[in-house]
Amino acid sequence: MVNIHIKSAWDHMRRSPFQALAAVFALTNTFFVITVLSVIVFASNQVIKYFETRPQIIAFLKDDATNERVSDLQNKLESDTRISKVVYVSKEEALEIYKKATSDNPLLSELVSPAIFPASIEVQVNDLVHADSLIGEIKQDEIVEQVGFTASLGSEATLGEVLQKLRNLTLYLRIGGGVFALMLVSTSFLVLIIIIGMRITTRRGEIEILDLIGATPGFIRKPILWEATLYSLIGVFAGWLAGFVVVLYVTPNLVSYFGDIPFLPRDTFELAKLFGLILFGEMFVGLLLAISGSILAVSRVKKR
Amino acid sequence: MLKINQVSKTFGDIKALDDVSFQVSDGEFVFLTGPSGAGKTTLLRLVLRELFPDEGEIVLEDVDITKLKRKDIPKLRQKIGVVFQDFKVLPERTVKENVEVALAVINLSRKDWKARIDHVLKLVGLEERGDLFPSQLSGGELQRVSLARALVVNPRIILADEPTGNLDWDTADKIMDLFEKISAEGKTILMATHHKLIINKLKKRIIELSEGKVVRDTGVKKLSPSQNTREASKESMTGSSVSEDKRKSKNFKSKESIKT
């Protein structure tokens, strides 16, 4: 048997469908935008993380470099506090990487042998500001043939600039998105207050009767609270679902654009976890809106 | 059951009630009568703690309700069944739902609802109208819904404010028959009315108010403030009610007179 307060709230929604739709649409729009923004912020963070964890400096070694000398250089770099990671890539490993990269055209890999690939040491720096000085130092070493960047992305001169641009973009996205989301949340909050306020005004007679037959303030407030909660939950779920569908729809195009960059989790469970977290957060915000909105509306109507 | 002791209430310069004192015993049916503006409704609203008296005390079941805290008012009202002249039924709920609301208010377990609702609807003759909305009912039926809602919570006292005021004589007569039936079941009723025909027909105790003062009480002789205090202390010392004895003897007499 449905709780009398939920039934009461549902009846009020059915009897004024346009007010209910206005509230639900406002909340749906808000949470749709919040869902999409959350995914964009997550994806941009993933892109930054991807670039940040790429080896930024590659020291190609001379063919006559002895193992001992290579080891010395590796140890020297590993002990450097500006460096977070050092990886030695042998000629054979370089060939494997090449084969993997050209797997769609096996002919290319058949014609090459490990001898033509130089061994290298890949270096990842803590902060890109150190990259220039490190490159200069590494170049000084006798066994180093050439030093390269994984930079030169698009028209950017260095990876640092690319990353800085990405960071700025993410920051603007966060600030702009946050402000936009806040505006939408505020609008939804106002719509909710107005609709609940109207509902209380039309229910004034009923509230008076309930008061006279001994209903507690909590009893009188409960259907109002339930109504606001129902608006919020429906709005949150609809907005989240719309956002989820849109993201799933555009993901194939984005995957082909971004290639190897894992801007969204590839694992289904991880993806479900991400959207589950977004839904959970939105439910929390939605409930907060419903509770605070209805309490505020009740107190405002009481003052009149 | 209910003791009104030296109660006064003013609205600005208007004295709505002036030093009103009387008692209503358990199971008693009392008419509160008098012309419009005599203070009948004000008195009922004071008992319901809708209003607060300027002076005096109102004791319901040994609790001075003038001293009740705001948060305890709902508990008081849950003990009182109220019937209004304008019915005050919830227009968007069916007859059954109107009655259910009262049970939800007192937080009665749902499993007990059906038996209680069936009983009261049968008592007021609305067992076939349970699923109808107020807009589908006549004035008399609406008053029955109001009465059913008041009764279903098994109140200690029923306050009725001009319950027949909006009804024609025949319907009013039927409603009064219902009140009499309820009274016969032992419920205490305090009814404000100026319907002389009804008052004369039922031959119950009458408390008449005029300009905020009790000018006639056919049941109990009006007590002076000092007598009131003495009576109250006597009651508390002996543990029995003097007025209760009076009521029993009066009720017996009135039952006898109805029979004859």
Instruction: Please check whether residues A128 and A173 belong to one and the same domain.
Output: no
Residues of A with Cβ-Cβ distance to B75 under 8 angstroms: 214
Judge whether A165 is closer than 8 Å to chain B, CB to CB: no
| A302/A176 Cα distance (integer angstroms) | 37
Residues of A with Cβ-Cβ distance to B91 under 8 angstroms: 205
Q: Which tokens is B45 given?
A: 């609203």
Q: Strand, coil or helix: what is A298?
A: helix
Express each pLDDT in B90-111 by its tens digit.
988 899 999 999 999 998 888 8
Instruction: Please check whether residues A26 and A96 belong to one and the same domain.
Output: no
Say yes or no for a CB contact (<8 Å) between B90 and A214: no
Can you tell me the mean pLDDT for B64-83? Answer: 91
Number of domains in chain B: 1
Instruction: Please check whether residues A82 and A172 belong to one and the same domain.
Output: no
Whether residue A225 lies inside any domain: the answer is yes
| B168/B196 Cα distance (integer angstroms) | 14
Residue type, B164: T
Instruction: Please check whether residues A206 and A286 belong to one and the same domain.
Output: yes
Can you tell me the mean pLDDT for B178-204? Answer: 87
Residues of B with Cβ-Cβ distance to A219 under 8 angstroms: 74, 104-105
Whether B257 shows a pLDDT value over 80: the answer reads: no
Instruction: Please check whether residues A116 and A242 belong to one and the same domain.
Output: no
Say yes or no for a CB contact (<8 Å) between A212 and B102: no
Whether B145 shows a pLDDT value over 90: the answer reads: yes
CATH of the domain at A74: 3.30.70.3040
- Domain housing A135: 55-149
Which of B165, B161, B116, B117 is CA-nearest to residue B140?
A: B165
Confidence category of residue A64, pLDDT binned at 50, 70, 90: confident
Interface test with B, best of A2, A14, A202, A213 (most B CBs within 10 A): A213
Whether residue B38 lies inside any domain: the answer is yes
Of A1, A206, A219, the CB nearest to B105: A219
Can you tell me the mean pLDDT for A4-23? Answer: 86
Lowest mean pLDDT among A28-32, A130-134, B34-38: A130-134
Instruction: Please check whether residues A255 and A196 belong to one and the same domain.
Output: yes
| A213/B104 Cα distance (integer angstroms) | 11
Burial A36-51 (b: 16+ CB within 10 A, else e): bbbbbebbbebbbeeb
Contact indicator for B30, B40 with CB cutoff of 8 Å = no
Residues contacting B175, CB < 8 A, separation 6+: B140, B143, B144, B147, B163, B164, B167
Can you tell me the mean pLDDT for B173-195? Answer: 88
Judge whether A15 is closer than 8 Å to chain B, CB to CB: yes
Q: Strand, coil or helix: what is B160?
A: strand
Among residues A149, A175, A194, the one where a domain terminates is A149
B76, closest residue in chain A (CA to CA):
A214
Residues contacting B16, CB < 8 A, separation 6+: B9, B10, B39, B42, B212
Whether B84 shows a pLDDT value over 70: the answer reads: yes
| A272/A286 Cα distance (integer angstroms) | 20
Whether residue B11 lies inside any domain: the answer is yes
Judge whether A210 is closer than 8 Å to chain B, CB to CB: yes
Say yes or no for a CB contact (<8 Å) between A1 and B110: yes
- In the block, tokens 């056919």 appear at B218
Residue type, B38: A
CA end-to-end span of chain B, whole Å? 29
Residues contacting B257, CB < 8 A, separation 6+: B203
Say yes or no for a CB contact (<8 Å) between B92 and A206: yes
Whether residue B94 lies inside any domain: the answer is no
Can you tell me the mean pLDDT for B104-126? Answer: 90
Instruction: Please check whether residues A183 and A135 belong to one and the same domain.
Output: no
Contact indicator for B160, B189 with CB cutoff of 8 Å = yes
Whether residue A154 lies inside any domain: the answer is no
Say yes or no for a CB contact (<8 Å) between B101 and A4: yes
Q: Which residue has the higher pLDDT, A268 or B246?
A: A268
Residues of B with Cβ-Cβ distance to A212 under 8 angstroms: 48, 50, 77, 82, 88
- Whole-number pLDDT of residue A207: 87
- What distance in Å separates residue A290's CA from the closest CA in chain B? 24
Cα dihedral across residues A241, A243, A246, A250: positive or negative: negative
Residues of B with Cβ-Cβ distance to A209 under 8 angstroms: 88-90
Q: Cβ–Cβ contacts within 10 Å for residue A233, how many? A: 17
Q: Which tokens is B42 given?
A: 């004000």
Among residues A149, A174, A191, the one where a domain terminates is A149
Among residues A97, A115, A149, the one where a domain terminates is A149
Say yes or no for a CB contact (<8 Å) between B88 and A216: no
Q: Which tokens is B157 given?
A: 């006292």
Instruction: Please check whether residues A201 and A299 belong to one and the same domain.
Output: yes
Whether A302 shows a pLDDT value over 70: the answer reads: no
Dump the DSSP string for B91-153: TTS-HHHHHHHHHHHTT--GGGHHHHHHHHHHHTT-TT-TT--GGGS-HHHHHHHHHHHHHHT
Say yes or no for a CB contact (<8 Å) between B74 and A209: no
- Whole-number pLDDT of residue A252: 86
- What distance in Å separates residue A168's CA from the closest CA in chain B? 56
- What distance in Å separates residue A212's CA from the closest CA in chain B? 7
| A160/A127 Cα distance (integer angstroms) | 9
Please give the share of chain A, as a percent, with pLDDT higher than 90: 24
Residues contacting A78, CB < 8 A, separation 6+: A86
Instruction: Please check whether residues A121 and A93 belong to one and the same domain.
Output: yes
Say yes or no for a CB contact (<8 Å) between B80 and A214: yes
- What distance in Å separates residue B102's CA from the closest CA in chain A? 7
Whether residue A252 lies inside any domain: the answer is yes
Interface test with A, best of B45, B80, B92 (most A CBs within 10 A): B92
Whether B168 shows a pLDDT value over 50: the answer reads: yes
Residue type, A294: S
Can you tell me the mean pLDDT for A38-61? Answer: 82
A220, closest residue in chain B (CA to CA):
B105
Contact indicator for B211, B38 with CB cutoff of 8 Å = yes
User: Parallel, antiparallel, or unpaired for β B157-161 and B188-192?
Assistant: parallel
Q: How many CA atoms lie within 13 A of B11 on its CB side?
A: 10
Of B79, B82, B110, the CB nearest to A212: B82
Which of A131, A99, A92 is CA-nearest to residue A115?
A: A92
Whether residue B144 lies inside any domain: the answer is no
Residues contacting A286, CB < 8 A, separation 6+: A27, A31, A232, A233, A235, A236
Whether residue B18 lies inside any domain: the answer is yes
Express each pLDDT in B24-51 by its tens digit.
999 999 999 998 888 999 999 999 999 9
- In the block, tokens 């008052």 appear at B199
Can you tell me the mean pLDDT for B161-188? Answer: 86
CATH of the domain at B65: 3.40.50.300
Judge whether A219 is closer than 8 Å to chain B, CB to CB: yes
Of A11, A206, A216, the CB nearest to B74: A216
Q: Strand, coil or helix: what is A282?
A: helix
Say yes or no for a CB contact (<8 Å) between A214 and B92: no
Whether residue B43 lies inside any domain: the answer is yes
Number of domains in chain A: 2
Alpha helices (runs of H) in chain A, residue ranges in sequence order: 4-15, 17-52, 67-78, 91-101, 106-110, 131-140, 159-202, 204-212, 217-258, 268-303
Judge whether A302 is closer than 8 Å to chain B, CB to CB: no
Express each pLDDT in A161-204 by its tens digit.
666 777 787 888 888 888 988 998 999 889 888 888 888 888 88
Instruction: Please check whether residues A194 and A296 belong to one and the same domain.
Output: yes
- Domain housing B206: 2-73+193-259
Express each pLDDT in A252-273 by its tens digit.
888 888 777 788 888 888 889 9
Q: How many CB pairs under 8 A join A and B?
A: 48
Whether A250 shows a pLDDT value over 80: the answer reads: yes
Whether residue B24 lies inside any domain: the answer is yes
Give the predicted TM-score (pTM) of the model: 0.68
Please give the share of chain A, as a percent, with pLDDT higher than 70: 92
Say yes or no for a CB contact (<8 Å) between B105 and A214: yes
Q: Which tokens is A100 given?
A: 């993997």
CA end-to-end span of chain A, whole Å? 36
Whether residue B85 lies inside any domain: the answer is no
- Whole-number pLDDT of residue B259: 33
Gyration radius of chain A over CA positions = 30
Express each pLDDT in A75-119 by its tens digit.
999 999 888 888 898 888 888 888 887 777 777 777 777 778 888
Instruction: Please check whether residues A183 and A254 belong to one and the same domain.
Output: yes
Q: How many CA atoms lie within 13 A of B4 on its CB side?
A: 28
Residues of A with Cβ-Cβ distance to B150 under 8 angstroms: 213
Instruction: Please check whether residues A47 and A59 belong to one and the same domain.
Output: no
Q: Which tokens is A63 given?
A: 């063919």
- In the block, tokens 């009499």 appear at B180
For the packed helices B139-152 and B95-105, what is the interaxial angle rounded to 10 degrees? 30
Residues contacting A17, CB < 8 A, separation 6+: none
Say yes or no for a CB contact (<8 Å) between B100 and A4: yes
Q: Which residue has the higher pLDDT, A156 or A298?
A: A298
